[in-house]
Amino acid sequence: MVHMKDRVFTKTINKQFEFDEEVAAVFDDMLERSVPFYAEAMRLTQTIALNRLQEGAVLYDLGCSTATLLLNIERMLSCQAVLIGIDNSKAMLEHAAKKLAIYNSAVTLEEGDILHYPYQRADVVISNYTLQFIRPLQREKLVKTIADALNDEGRFIFSEKVVSAQSKLNKELIDIYYDFKKEQGYTTYEIMQKREALENVLIPYTVQENCEMICNNGFRSCEVVFRWANFATFVAVK
């Protein structure tokens, strides 16, 4: 599918970032141009998820946005599995539903709050750049809920923006990231506008903080399987 180009932050933004219709319409382009090596991280996520999916397995994608990853996983399935995407953005789900209809997909979409959703037993839970938008006090509760829902050996695969514990290195990584965004065609004005809109909305942890949160709430291991500067993909095993 052809993606609409992200021009959300070319104009002055006077509100915090939200996943509204304007963002949903350009979200696929925004991801590809804003997250370094996004496609590679998602291919890795897809492969690791598929390795756990057997006949009758259940997979959740928390904050599924426009359901691109779920469609890609469904396309590669060699068994019957239940794929469920949950998002609290009606605009995102409307775009996802249109996409699923085009491909005659059997993926299930649910509009709901991932903090209070009634999860059934699952084999894989995926969360891409979603935990970082949840208030820190609520994140541990969500991780515990995910662990409780997963079967033994189940996997929680998640990607997050991360910060470095070293302030000088952290600034360097941010500068490297902004250079990346400029290479993707974003202007300095757009970059600064988005940074301001995300202030106090996106709250990243260090790699160590993420792994400690995971292992303190029901998982026996957590490790980084992909990283570029201040973006990381983790796999946790129950």
> pLDDT, tens digit, for every residue of 201-234?
788 999 999 999 999 999 999 999 999 999 999 9
How far is it, in rounded angstroms, from Cα 60 to Cα 108? Answer: 10
Burial zone of 223 (CB within 10 Å; 0-12 exposed, 13-18 middle, 19+ buried): exposed
The answer to whether the beta carbons of residues 69 and 129 sit under 8 Å apart is: no
Q: Which amino acid is at 36?
A: P
Task: Tell me the domains of the chain and their CATH numbers.
Answer: 16-165+195-237 (3.40.50.150)
φ/ψ of residue 31, rounded to 5: -65, -50
pLDDT at residue 232, as a whole number: 98
pLDDT score recorded for residue 34: 81
In total, the chain counts a number of residues equal to 238
| Angstrom distance (rounded) from CA 183 to CA 187 | 9
pTM for the whole structure: 0.87
φ, ψ of residue 158 to 5 degrees: the values are -140, 145
| pLDDT for res 101 | 94
Mean pLDDT of 24-46: 81
